C-alpha cells in the first residue's frame, strides 16, 4: 500500500507538470505551435548530450554528429560527415578526459510546424594543470533550431554567439541583495 501511494502521487505530480508545461507552451503566443512535456524533456536531453559528445569525441565523432539532423549544421560544417569531423578534430586536440563545455539555462520555444528554437548559455572552462590557474576562456550562448526526426529531436542548426564585454560602468555593484 505504501508503494502504491507513492506511485499514485508520482503519477499525479508528473501529470500536473506535463499539463502545466503544455499549457505554458500553448500560451507562448505562437498560433498553432505547441510542444508536449515530453518534447521539452527530449530537447533538454539533446542539449545536455552536446558538451559530452563534443568533448569526449565518442564513437569517432559520430556521437556528436548524431545529435544533428542528417542535413544539420553548426557554423560552416553541414551534414553528418562534416560534423563528425569536427568532433574528431576537437577530441584529437584535447584527449579522452578533457571537459571544457558547460551549458546552462536552456530556453525552448515552439515554432509553427511542430519544430522548436532554443538558447542556452555556454562557458568554456580551461582547467589549470601544472600550477596554471583555471580560467573561463570563452563564453556566450547558442542559438538553436530543433527538428523532430524519426530518431527523435535533433539540432537542425546551432549557432555560437560569443559574449562581448560591455562597459564596466553599466554593471551594477554586487551587494548582498543583488547577489542573491
Higher pLDDT, 170 or 164: 164
- Evaluate whether 96 touches 174 at the Cβ level (below 8 Å): no
Domain ranges of the chain: 2-164
Question: Which residues of 23-100 form beta strands (DSSP E)?
Answer: 68-74, 77-78
- Evaluate whether 149 touches 68 at the Cβ level (below 8 Å): no
| Average pLDDT of the segment spanning 51-63 | 88
Residues 96-130: tens digit of each pLDDT = 566 778 888 889 999 998 999 999 998 888 777 78
Question: Which residues of 29-176 form beta strands (DSSP E)?
Answer: 68-74, 77-78, 101-110, 116-126, 135-149, 152-162
Which CATH number applies to 2-164: 3.10.450.50, 3.10.20.30, 1.10.3720.10, 1.20.970.10? 3.10.450.50
Cell readout for 116 is 522548436
Residues 131-168: tens digit of each pLDDT = 888 887 888 999 999 999 999 999 999 999 988 876 65
Amino acid at each position: 500500500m505504501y508503494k502504491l501511494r507513492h506511485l499514485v502521487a508520482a503519477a499525479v505530480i508528473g501529470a500536473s507538470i506535463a499539463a502545466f508545461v503544455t499549457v505554458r507552451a500553448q500560451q507562448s503566443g505562437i498560433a498553432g505551435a505547441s510542444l508536449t512535456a515530453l518534447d521539452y524533456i527530449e530537447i533538454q536531453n539533446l542539449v545536455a548530450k552536446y558538451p559530452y559528445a563534443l568533448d569526449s569525441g565518442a564513437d569517432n565523432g559520430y556521437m556528436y554528429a548524431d545529435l544533428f539532423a542528417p542535413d544539420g549544421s553548426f557554423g560552416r560544417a553541414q551534414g553528418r560527415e562534416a560534423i563528425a569531423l569536427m568532433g574528431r578534430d576537437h577530441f584529437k586536440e584535447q584527449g579522452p578526459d578533457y571537459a571544457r563545455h558547460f551549458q546552462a539555462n536552456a530556453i525552448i520555444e515552439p515554432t509553427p510546424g511542430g519544430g522548436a528554437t532554443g538558447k542556452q548559455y555556454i562557458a568554456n572552462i580551461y582547467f589549470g594543470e601544472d600550477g596554471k590557474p583555471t580560467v573561463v576562456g570563452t563564453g556566450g550562448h547558442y542559438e538553436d533550431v530543433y527538428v523532430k526526426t524519426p530518431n527523435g529531436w535533433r539540432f537542425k542548426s546551432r549557432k555560437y554567439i560569443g559574449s562581448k564585454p560591455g562597459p564596466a560602468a553599466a554593471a551594477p555593484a554586487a551587494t548582498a541583495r543583488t547577489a542573491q
